[in-house]
Amino acid sequence: MKWSFKLGTVAGTEVRIHVTFFILLAFVAMQGMSGGQGMAGALDAVLFVSAAFVCVLLHEFGHVFAARGYGIRTPDITLLPIGGVARLERMPEKPMQELVVAICGPLVNVAISAAISTFLGLSLVLNPDIHFEQSGHFWEKLMVWNLFMVAFNLIPAFPMDGGRVFRALLGFFVDFERATRWAAGLGQAIAVMAGLWMLLSGNVSPVLILIAFFVFIAAGQEASAVSQRQAFQGLRVEDAMVTDFHTIPSSALLRDVVALLLSGNQHDFPMIDARGDLLGIITRQRLISALTEHGPLHPAESILIPCDLQATPRMDLAEALTALDAGTCSALPVMDAYSGRLVGLLTAENVGELLMVRTALRRA
Ligand SMILES: [Zn+2]
Q: For residue 112, how far is its CA from the centre of ligand 1 (angstroms)?
A: 14
**H helix runs in the chain, sequence order:** 20-32, 38-68, 95-126, 137-153, 161-171, 176-201, 206-232, 237-240, 254-263, 284-294, 317-326, 348-363
Residues with CB under 5 A from ligand 1 (ion): 105, 161
Residue 364 has pLDDT above 70, yes or no: no
Between the CA of 347 and the centroid of ligand 1 the distance, in Å, is 36
106 C-alpha to ligand 1 centroid (Å)? 6
Provide the pLDDT confidence category of residue 117 given band limits of 50, 70 and 90.
Answer: confident
Query: Does the structure show a pLDDT above 90 at 114?
Result: yes
Tell whether the model's pLDDT for residue 222 goes beyond 90. no
Compute the distance from residue 305 Cα to the ligand 1 centre, in Å: 42
Distance 75 CA to ligand 1 centre (A): 16
CA pair distance 109, 102, nearest whole angstrom = 13
User: Residue 182 Cα, ligand 1 centroid: separation in angstroms?
Assistant: 20
pLDDT of the residue at 36: 66
Residue 127 pLDDT: 67
Average pLDDT over residues 52-78: 90
* pLDDT-based confidence at residue 216 (cuts at 50, 70, 90): confident
Average pLDDT score over residue span 354-362: 78
Measured in Å, residue 64 CA sits from the centre of ligand 1 at 10
pLDDT at 94: 86
Q: Report the separation in Å between the CA atom of 118 and the middle of ligand 1, taken as the mean of its atom positions.
A: 24
Q: How sure is the predictor about 135, in pLDDT bands with cuts at 50, 70 and 90? A: very low
Question: Which residues 6+ apart lie within 8 Å of 198 measured at CB?
Answer: 204, 205, 208, 209, 212
Instruction: Convert the pLDDT of each residue in 169-198 to its tens digit.
Output: 998 998 888 888 888 889 889 889 888 888
pLDDT one-digit tens code per residue, 300-341: 999 998 888 888 999 888 778 877 877 778 889 999 988 888
Ligand 1 centre distance from Cα of residue 285 (Å)? 43
CA of 83 from ligand 1 middle (Å) equals 9
Could you tell me the CA-to-CA distances from 246 to 7, 227, 265, 304, 351 in Å, in that order?
A: 50, 34, 11, 15, 19
